Amino acid sequence: MTKVNYNIYQFQRKEVIFYFVTGCCGICGIAYIFYRSYVAFLMLLPFLYIFMKKKREELCSKRKSELSLQFRDAILSVSASLRSGYSIENAFCEACQDMEVLYGKKGMIVRELRLLTGRLASNETLENILYDFSERSGLEDIMDFTDVFVTAKRSGGDLNAIIRKASDHISGKIEVKREIDTLMSAKKIEQKIMNTVPFLIIFYINYSSPGFLDIMYGSMARILVKTHFLEVYGVALLLEKKIVSIEV
């Protein structure tokens, strides 16, 4: 089974097609509304790469959040198996079956636990496996858990208590993030609406009153002014992203 680097997101074919078409439509709309020029469309095409890159980062961040939630459930399962008398290695193997019921055979944590089970069968140490997973995950919570867990295992600490504390810590961060997302959801919807309002207004005027905005086009000075406004609009979008993005 191949390892997955969760710090790098690879688009699926349908995602490539969807975001490519979405980006092209957006660039086409901007070129028509601001410039009414095919040349402008071609000059704006490099921004399609930036759009695809941003979408890749968003999907990567979303996948990491899902992995964090699944990892929390996995170590809760490990903790329950330890209380039942399983060894720590067997507890992780049992967690694989529990997570398969919870997330299905294609779940991210199921894939990782299957990989862990196979590597344990090849006489690889649990410590090395967890370190490898924590590095590939890119999640601070999993890295911290691995450091504490390995140290406790080597020194003979209470693994069950450590796992319970780690799961409580991750659960607390997840709940705080969910509360923030709930509080910010309305603001994010308002942001998306306000982002489209200027384009909708111009499109409506063009449709309802043909020729009314013709004065905006035709000269280099007007093109430069509109380009400046487009730059200001882009900066405003970046600021909005920063405002509504709260890290926990």
Q: For residue range 4-36, list pLDDT tens digits in order.
A: 899 999 999 999 999 999 999 989 888 888 888
CA dist 101 and 243 (Å) reads: 38
**pLDDT at residue 186 above 80?**
no
Taking CB atoms within 8 Å and a gap of at least 24, the contacts of 69-74 are: 69/174, 70/99, 70/103, 70/107, 70/108, 70/109, 71/109, 71/137, 71/139, 71/141, 71/142, 71/170, 72/167, 72/170, 72/171, 72/174, 73/99, 73/102, 73/109, 74/98, 74/99, 74/109, 74/113
pLDDT cut 90: percent of the chain above it: 19
pLDDT for res 246: 64
**pLDDT at residue 193 above 80?**
yes
Lowest mean pLDDT among 97-101, 106-110, 143-147: 143-147
Q: Mean pLDDT across the stretch 105-117?
A: 91
- Of 21 and 175, the structure prediction assigns the larger pLDDT to 21
63 confidence band (pLDDT: 50, 70, 90): very high
pLDDT for res 199: 80
pLDDT for res 48: 92
Q: Mean pLDDT across the stretch 177-182?
A: 79
Average model confidence (pLDDT) for the chain? 84
pLDDT for res 106: 87
Task: Give tens-digit pLDDT for 196-247.
Answer: 888 888 888 877 877 777 777 777 887 888 888 888 888 888 887 777 666 6
Chain centroid to CA 84: how far?
36
Lowest mean pLDDT among 5-14, 80-89, 180-189: 180-189
- Of 145 and 164, the structure prediction assigns the larger pLDDT to 145
Residue 38 CA: distances (Å) to CA of 28, 63, 114, 183: 9, 37, 52, 42
| Residues sharing a CB contact under 8 Å with residue 124, sequence separation 6 or more, in sequence order | none
Q: Mean pLDDT across the stretch 107-119?
A: 92
CA atoms within 13 A on the CB side of 42: 3
Lowest mean pLDDT among 86-95, 97-106, 133-142, 218-227: 218-227
Structure tokens at 31: 């070129």
pTM beyond cutoff 0.85: no
pLDDT for res 248: 60
111 confidence band (pLDDT: 50, 70, 90): very high
